[in-house]
A and B are shown apart, each in its own frame.
Chain A
Amino acid sequence: DTGVSQNPRHKITKRGQNVTFRCDPISEHNRLYWYRQTLGQGPEFLTYFQNEAQLEKSRLLSDRFSAERPKGSFSTLEIQRTEQGDSAMYLCASSPGLAGAEETQYFGPGTRLLVL
């Protein structure tokens, strides 16, 4: 399967703990996006990378959220000091990253986070 993969698929944690999610994009896709989705809502954009460069991070929900894509391949999203309000589905998507092109994004299955 050459689609976008995310791990873990489910994560239960206690309030105050740190969590890290991983996303492996489609091979050779230059752009990688992170979204958060709560029940009954559409995905909410968080941040994106063009190769290893993080081009937009102002939408990250707080300074407890950070993302990396160190070698321009997989990416990690970390949430520090989790709060109950962080409970949501975290989605990753990738796209070819062609300059000036409207791009279809290919989504992974998501990581569902529950903060107790």
Chain B
Amino acid sequence: SQKIEQNSEALNIQEGKTATLTCNYTNYSPAYLQWYRQDPGRGPVFLLLIRENEKEKRKERLKVTFDTTLKQSLFHITASQPADSATYLCALGGGNAGNMLTFGGGTRLMVKP
């Protein structure tokens, strides 16, 4: 069966450290993968998109990697800040994932000052 797995346990890190979140999937061949941030009571907000033929994408303090062999994406936030505390969602799209986005369950990140 098709699955998208993100660590359901909250990730607690100290301010200034690098946070690394994982997204693993099975039985999908997406054309792209997206990462979204969601704050409590709000809709998700787009952060980054990476295509199947790209290994790495960066935006300011954010970095995403995409390994289609391992079927895994890693999402890094460097020099983390308390304001980065939120739930981070990965989503697959395109390919056999279709036009809609299929989301993982999200990982809650807590950055402590």
Q: Which residues of A contact B (CB under 8 A)?
A: 4, 31, 33, 35, 40-45, 48, 55-56, 59, 91, 93, 102-110, 112
Closest to B91 in A: A42
Closest to B102 in A: A45
Contacting pair B46 A105 (CB below 8 A):
yes
Contacting pair B32 A42 (CB below 8 A):
no
A55 to B99, CA, bound (A): 10
Return chain A residues, CB-CB under 8 Å to B89. 42-43
B98 → A minimal CB distance (Å): 7
Number of interface residues of B (CB under 8 A): 28
Known: A4-B43, A42-B6. 11 other contacts (CB 8 A): A33-B100, A42-B91, A45-B102, A91-B43, A91-B44, A104-B34, A104-B46, A104-B49, A106-B46, A107-B43, A107-B45
A107 to B38, CA, bound (A): 10
Closest to B89 in A: A42
Q: Which residues of B contact A (CB under 8 A)?
A: 4, 6, 8, 31-32, 34, 36, 41-46, 49, 51, 89, 91, 93-94, 98-106
Return chain A residues, CB-CB under 8 Å to B8. 40
Return chain A residues, CB-CB under 8 Å to B104. 42
B85 → A minimal CB distance (Å): 16
Interchain residue pairs with CB less than 8 A apart (9):
A33-B100, A42-B89, A42-B91, A55-B99, A59-B100, A91-B44, A106-B46, A110-B41, A110-B43
Return chain A residues, CB-CB under 8 Å to B106. 40-42
Given contacts A40-B8, A40-B105, A102-B94, contact A56 B43 (CB under 8 A): no
A74 → B minimal CB distance (Å): 17
Return chain A residues, CB-CB under 8 Å to B91. 42
Contact of B105 among A33, A41, A108 (CB under 8 A): A41
Given contacts A42-B105, A102-B94, A104-B34, contact A48 B43 (CB under 8 A): no
A55 to B89, CA, bound (A): 25
B57 → A minimal CB distance (Å): 12
